[in-house]
Amino acid sequence: MTFDTLRSDTKAQMVLGLLSGIVFGFLLQKGGVTEYGVIIGQLLLTDFTVVKVMLSAVLVGMIGVYTLKWMGLANLHYKVGSVGSTIIGGLIFGAGFGILGYCPGTAAGAVGSGAMDAAIGMIGIAIGAGIFARLYPRLNRSILNKGIFPAETIPELVGIRSEVLAVGIVAVLVAGILYLLHAVGL
């Protein structure tokens, strides 16, 4: 592979990523999950729109990723996780979600819809990301690598082929979506 080929592939990947992000944001907005009231309704367990949309996104994404892998068009790369990084990530995500009322994806979609509160929140997300990047070397030497997980992936941890586990998860997700749509009347 030549440098020019690598560079053109990178450009294509960036364009594809941008287009995918625009489509995802559009679908979030059309699904109603960029509205503050819908997200608060999810947190209060009175509106399950967010769960339905996100379960659907996970389902489509999982099928898409494993299809691309099966066709030889994608390689999966894993980063080892740890208890420390999970706790830090959860605290940062939870604090931001609690303060802003949006998760990062829905905040970006809300900005695209013209929500000024989300725009201010996105500035906060950028500042927070900068602070984390600045602290990362120190955090990486200390807490982020505490309690390294014994396997890189859940299939490795439970000793099941990833494709088999993916089929099981797809079945559970479809059942969950159907339950939310019909049994709960959502």
Residue 183: pLDDT band with limits 50, 70, 90: low
Q: What is the mean pLDDT of the chain?
A: 84
Whole-angstrom CA distances from 140 to 136, 144, 152, 178 are 6, 5, 18, 41
* pLDDT tens sequence across 135-175: 999 998 989 889 999 888 888 888 888 888 888 888 888 88
d(CA 105, CA 138): 27
pLDDT of residue 185: 59
Mean pLDDT of 22-35: 86
Q: Let me know: does 59 contact 177? Beta carbons within 8 Å.
A: yes
pLDDT of residue 174: 84
Q: What is the pTM of this model?
A: 0.68
